[in-house]
Copies of this chain bind each other. A is one copy, B any other.
Amino acid sequence: MTDNITFSERLETVGDKVTLALDALIPRVIGPESELYSAMRYAALGGGKRLRPLFVLECGRLFDVPAKRLMRVAAAVECIHTYSLIHDDLPCMDNDDLRRGQPTVHKAYSESLAVLAGDALQTLAFEILADEETHSQPRIRVALIENLAKASGARGMVGGQAIDMSATGAKMEMALIARMQRMKTGSLIQFSAEAGAIMAGASDEARQALTGFAHDLGLAFQITDDLLDAEGDPKKTGKAVGKDAAQGKASFVDDLGVEGARQHTKLLGEQAKAHLDIFGSSATILHQSIDFIVNRSR
C-alpha cells in the first residue's frame, strides 16, 4: 500500500505542475474574448487525473529528456484531451451535465462557447508543440505534431468517438469495441507514452516496448472505466453511473461480464508491466501507474 500512496502523491505533483503550465499557456485576458479564455481555463485547469501528462513525463524520463520540455508536450496532450471531453459532453453527443463533479462547460457557459473553447484548445495543442521551447530541433517538433495529429484525428480519437456515437443502441461486437477504444482513448495514451522517445530519438526497440505498454494499459484503462460505469460509486467517480447501459452504449462489461472484465484488466496489467522489463527499475513509477489504473475507484 505504501507504493500506492507514493504513486498517488506523484500523480498529484504532476497534476499540479501541468495545471501551472496550462495556467501560463492559457492566460486570463481582458476584453470581448475574455469569456472564451475563461471557458478554456475552466475546462483545462479544472483537474482530472492527469494520467496522460504522467505518462509523457515518466516515459520521457527513461531517455533523459528535460522535464521542462516534457511538460510542454504534457500540456499539449492535456489540451487535446480536454477539448475532446468538452465536445463529448455536449447535448448532441453524450449530453453530460457533470464532469469531475462540476458543471460541464456548456452548462457553466453556453453550448456555443463549449464548441469554441474545444476548438481553440485543439489549435493551442499544435501551437505549443510548434514553439521552439518544446524542442530545439524543428524536425523533432514536426514529428511530435504529425504523431499527435494522427493520434487525435479521424484515424484516432475523433474517429473512435464517431464509431461510439454511431453504435448507440446497437449491439457491438467485442472486436469493434476494442477497435473503437483503441482509437478513442488508446491512441492519445500511446502518443503520451511515445513522445519522449520521439524527442530523444530512442531506439526502435524502446519505442516498441512503450507502444506495447500503452496498448495494454489503454485497454485496461477503458475496461476499468466500463466497470466503474456499471457498478461504481457516483460520489467517487464524480459523474452519473449506469449511463452507458441506459444509452445502449457498447461496453466491455456487456461482453465479458463483471468478473470476466476484472480478470481481463489484471491480465492486461501484467502484460503492460512485461513490456517495461527492458527499462528495469527506471520504470517503477510506470509499474505503479498500471496498478493504480487497474485498481482505481474513480
Contact = CB atoms under 8 A, between A and B. Distances in A.
A127 B150 contact: yes
Nearest to A92: B111
A36 interface: yes
Interface in A120-141: 120, 122-124, 126-127, 130-131, 137-139, 141
A32 B167 contact: yes
A154 B90 contact: no
Contacts of A108: none
Contacts of A119: 83, 87, 118-119, 122, 158
A18 interface: no
B116 A165 contact: yes
A181 to B, nearest CB: 13
A159 B115 contact: no
Interface in A96-129: 110-113, 115-116, 118-120, 122-124, 126-127
Main secondary structure of the interface of A (DSSP, over half): helix
Nearest to A163: B32
A141 B122 CA distance: 18
A23 interface: no
A253 interface: no
Given A35-B166, A142-B138, A158 B92 contact: no
Which A-B residue pairs are the 4 nearest by beta carbons?
A: A123-B153, A92-B111, A127-B149, A36-B162
Interface of A: 32-33, 35-37, 40, 83, 87, 90, 92-93, 110-113, 115-116, 118-120, 122-124, 126-127, 130-131, 137-139, 141-142, 145-146, 149-150, 152-154, 158-159, 161-163, 165-167, 176, 179-180, 183
22 contacts: A32-B179, A33-B163, A33-B166, A35-B162, A35-B166, A36-B159, A37-B154, A40-B154, A87-B115, A92-B110, A112-B165, A113-B165, A116-B165, A120-B154, A123-B152, A123-B153, A124-B153, A126-B145, A126-B149, A131-B146, A138-B138, A142-B145
